[in-house]
Chains A and B, each alone.
Chain A
Amino acid sequence: GAVVSQHPSRVICKSGTSVKIECRSLDFQATTMFWYRQFPKQSLMLMATSNEGSKATYEQGVEKDKFLINHASLTLSTLTVTSAHPEDSSFYICSAGGFGGGDYEQYFGPGTRLTVT
């Protein structure tokens, strides 16, 4: 199957700083990438959908000025958490949409654990 990487896998930052998370599709071109967050023992909640070269579409309730998404190429999308606060601490997972095995699927990265102190 298709491979998606995320970097960093873990990050600790101080309140008020910004953090950037990268999501890369390693062996296919992803026209669409998705960003999810997951709180402990809860499911994945879609934050936004990004298409290469255009603005991201945010889900209801997600602050687009706080969670900046850039999808500059077919293999890279970035999520920047601006002015992070402790309540932003969460597990962030990206996925890349593609036709790796035939039909369209989302291929998930390993996730990034963000802790804001």
Chain B
Amino acid sequence: KQEVTQIPAALSVPEGENLVLNCSFTDSAIYNLQWFRQDPGKGLTSLLLIQSSQREQTSGRLNASLDKSSGRSTLYIAASQPGDSATYLCAVRPGGYNKLIFGAGTRLAVHP
């Protein structure tokens, strides 16, 4: 059974710091991995999607890497800003399925 774990569960940093959020999964047979952002009481915003054949994806200050063989992904946030404060969720799509399996998320607070 696929399980997704995110570390740390919560993180509080001063503005300007570079951050690394971690995601691990138990079954390497995935189709893709996706990082989402969720603001309190809101839905999900897709940040980056990495196909199983890819090593990384970048969008602005965000960079996500994928090491499928070791079951790990990292989300790198450069020069963090207070507006980055949110919960970041990692989700994997198992091979052969359309559904997503989510981690518990990392709650990020960036203070001025």
With contacts A103-B51, A105-B49 known, is A43 near B102, CB below 8 A?
yes
Which partner residue on chain A sits nearest B32 by CB separation?
A103
Q: Is the CB of B98 within 8 A of A93?
A: no
B26 at the interface (CB under 8 A from A): no
Chain B hits for A45, CB < 8 A: 102
Contact with A along B71-112 (1 / 0, CB 8 A): 000000000000000000101000000111111110100000
Q: A46 touches which one: B46, B100, B105 (CB < 8 A)?
A: B100
Q: How large is the interface on A (under 10, 10 to 19, 20 to 34, 35 or more residues)?
A: 20 to 34
A-B contact pairs, 7 of them (CB 8 A): A32-B98, A42-B104, A44-B89, A91-B41, A109-B43, A111-B42, A111-B43
Q: Is the CB of B102 within 8 A of A34?
A: no
Q: A42-B104, A43-B103 are in contact. List 4 more A-B contacts (CB 8 A).
A: A6-B43, A34-B99, A93-B43, A97-B98
Report the tally of A-B residue pairs with Cβ distances under 8 A.
50
Q: Is the CB of B44 within 8 A of A93?
A: yes
* Minimum C-beta distance from B46 to chain A (A): 7
In order of increasing CB-CB distance, the 10 nearest A-B pairs are: A110-B43, A108-B44, A43-B104, A43-B102, A111-B43, A44-B102, A108-B43, A97-B98, A43-B105, A109-B43
* Minimum C-beta distance from A71 to chain B (A): 14
A70 at the interface (CB under 8 A from B): no
Give Cα A18–Cα B51 distance, bound, in whole angstroms. Answer: 40
Q: B12-53: which have CB < 8 Å to A? A: 32, 34, 36, 41-44, 46, 49, 51
Give Cα A42–Cα B104 distance, bound, in whole angstroms. Answer: 6
